[in-house]
């Protein structure tokens, strides 16, 4: 009888420990999103750009830094794989944080797909001075942009209140500036580069804000808080 009396507390303790470990894993996965945004900025505009003498951040595209023939490519090629792993982990973290919310689950799946699609960008990079590399790079980039826009739309639909408003504003800024950059191409020119960096920056910041928003939610009450006004 004494053994039976001790079993419920033991099971409860084991369940609590398991829940705590799961929440730690969830938060680590979400932190990968904020880390991926920070590393993207450092790897591109700080490290890779500094390796290219004469590179003008105010007039040249970020994608040029990733191109074959770019002096910064030897840095950004391994970074692409790191970013892919971190962002994919972030998508899984969002998925684990939004149980019971279909729109956010779809958004999480799209974020995961966006992270994995970076592999295609690495397989079809631009080649400096080679126009033949442009069509496939544009196709890979446009698919990734579609995944990004769709993910932001579903996340905005899944939240209520300030996070929904912020997601909509970030989506509009990123999409509009992306279209401005597209219309200003080919470069180099001031409008192209500034609008592209604003578009990328709006998305990177949104990822970090989403990670923080979900990271601080109590694990036991995430769904109800997500639906709060």
User: For residue range 1-42, what is the model confidence (pLDDT) as tens digits?
Assistant: 444 545 455 555 444 555 667 788 999 999 999 999 999 999
Taking the CA atoms of residue 84, residue 87, residue 89 and residue 95 in that order, the dihedral angle to the nearest 10 degrees is -140
Annotate 16-27 with DSSP letters as a single string.
Answer: HHHHHHHHHHHH
- Looking up tokens 């009396």 gives 5
If pLDDT is split at 50, 70 and 90, which confidence band does 115 have? Answer: very high
Is 56 inside any structural domain? yes
Is 3 inside any structural domain? no
Neighbours of 51 (CB within 10 A): 15
d(CA 11, CA 1): 16
In degrees, rounded to 5, the angle at the alpha carbon of residue 47 between the alpha carbons of residues 46 and 48 is 105
| Closest among 205, 208, 207, 152 to 175, alpha carbons compared | 152
Q: Look at residue 189 in the predicted model and tell me its pLDDT.
A: 67
Tell me which DSSP letter residue 56 carries.
Answer: -
Per the structure, the count of domains in the chain is 1
Sign of the Cα torsion 120, 122, 123, 125 reads positive
Domain that residue 71 falls in: 27-226
Is 174 inside any structural domain? yes
Is 42 inside any structural domain? yes
Q: Look at residue 112 in the predicted model and tell me its pLDDT.
A: 97
Is 92 inside any structural domain? yes
Is 170 inside any structural domain? yes
Is 151 inside any structural domain? yes
Is 100 inside any structural domain? yes
């Amino acid at each position: 009888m004494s053994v039976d009396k001790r079993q419920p507390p033991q099971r409860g303790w084991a369940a609590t420990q398991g829940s705590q470990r799961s929440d730690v894993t969830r938060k680590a996965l979400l932190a990968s999103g904020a880390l991926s945004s920070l590393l993207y900025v450092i790897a591109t505009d700080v490290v890779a750009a500094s390796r290219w003498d004469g590179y003008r951040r105010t007039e040249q595209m970020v994608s040029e830094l990733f191109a074959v023939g770019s002096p910064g490519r030897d840095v950004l090629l391994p970074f692409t794989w790191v970013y892919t792993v971190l962002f994919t982990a972030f998508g899984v973290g969002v998925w684990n944080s939004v149980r019971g919310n279909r729109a956010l689950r779809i958004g999480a799946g799209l974020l995961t797909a966006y992270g994995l699609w970076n592999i295609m960008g690495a397989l079809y990079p631009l080649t400096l001075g080679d126009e033949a590399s442009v069509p496939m790079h544009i196709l890979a980039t446009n698919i990734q942009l579609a995944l990004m826009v769709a993910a932001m739309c579903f996340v905005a639909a899944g939240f209520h209140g300030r996070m929904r408003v912020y997601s909509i504003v970030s989506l509009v800024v990123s999409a509009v500036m992306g279209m401005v950059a597209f219309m200003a191409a080919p470069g180099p020119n001031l409008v192209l580069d500034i609008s592209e960096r604003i578009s990328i920056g709006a998305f990177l910041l949104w990822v970090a804000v989403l990670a923080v928003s979900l990271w601080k939610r109590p694990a036991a009450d995430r769904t109800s808080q997500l639906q709060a006004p």
